Amino acid sequence: DTAVSQTPKYLVTQMGNDKSIKCEQNLGHDTMYWYKQDSKKFLKIMFSYNNKELIINETVPNRFSPKSPDKAHLNLHINSLELGDSAVYFCASSPPRRSGANVLTFGAGSRLTVL
């Protein structure tokens, strides 16, 4: 199946721990994103990579570090987890605009709960 795949789907951890969420897309898209959906269901951009290069870095604490080993993968590593990091994290990918296609594609989300 062509898709954006995120793992894990659920993650429960203690405050202060370090955790990673992985994302892979097999759509051949150039650009990948991390979005955060908070407890009020509001979505916000965190990061975007284009062909492994960081192009968007919103006001996100330094504890969050994205890593893109190749254009098909964008992983999110979070250090020293805090209660406020509890949220659903969505990975997404998109092709270049010049392709004319509307194919912003989201992963299923990773629900992070920090205790």
Partner 1 sequence: KNEVEQSPQNLTAQEGEFITINCSYSVGISALHWLQQHPGGGIVSLFMLSSGKKKHGRLIATINIQEKHSSLHITASHPRDSAVYICAVSINFGNEKLTFGTGTRLTIIP
Separation CA 89–CA 77 (nearest Å): 12
Residue 8, preceding peptide bond in cis (omega within 30° of 0):
yes
Q: From residue 97, how far is each of 39, 53, 91, 100 by CA, in Å?
A: 31, 17, 18, 6
Q: How far is the CB of 109 from partner 1 (least distance, A)?
A: 5
Helix (H) or strand (E) holding 95: none
Closer residue to partner 1, CB minimum distance, 21 or 92:
92
Binding of partner 1 at residue 72 (CB under 8 A)? no
Within 94-113, which residues bind partner 1 (CB under 8 A)? 94, 97, 102-106, 108-109, 111
Closer residue to partner 1, CB minimum distance, 50 or 79:
50
Kindly state the number of chain residues that form the binding site for partner 1, as judged by CB under 8 A.
26
Separation CA 28–CA 88 (nearest Å): 25
Separation CA 92–CA 32 (nearest Å): 6
Closer residue to partner 1, CB minimum distance, 14 or 98:
98
Write the DSSP symbol of residue 76.
Answer: E
Binding of partner 1 at residue 21 (CB under 8 A)? no
Q: Which residues bind partner 1 (CB under 8 A)?
A: 31, 33, 35, 40-45, 48, 50, 55-56, 88, 90, 92, 94, 97, 102-106, 108-109, 111
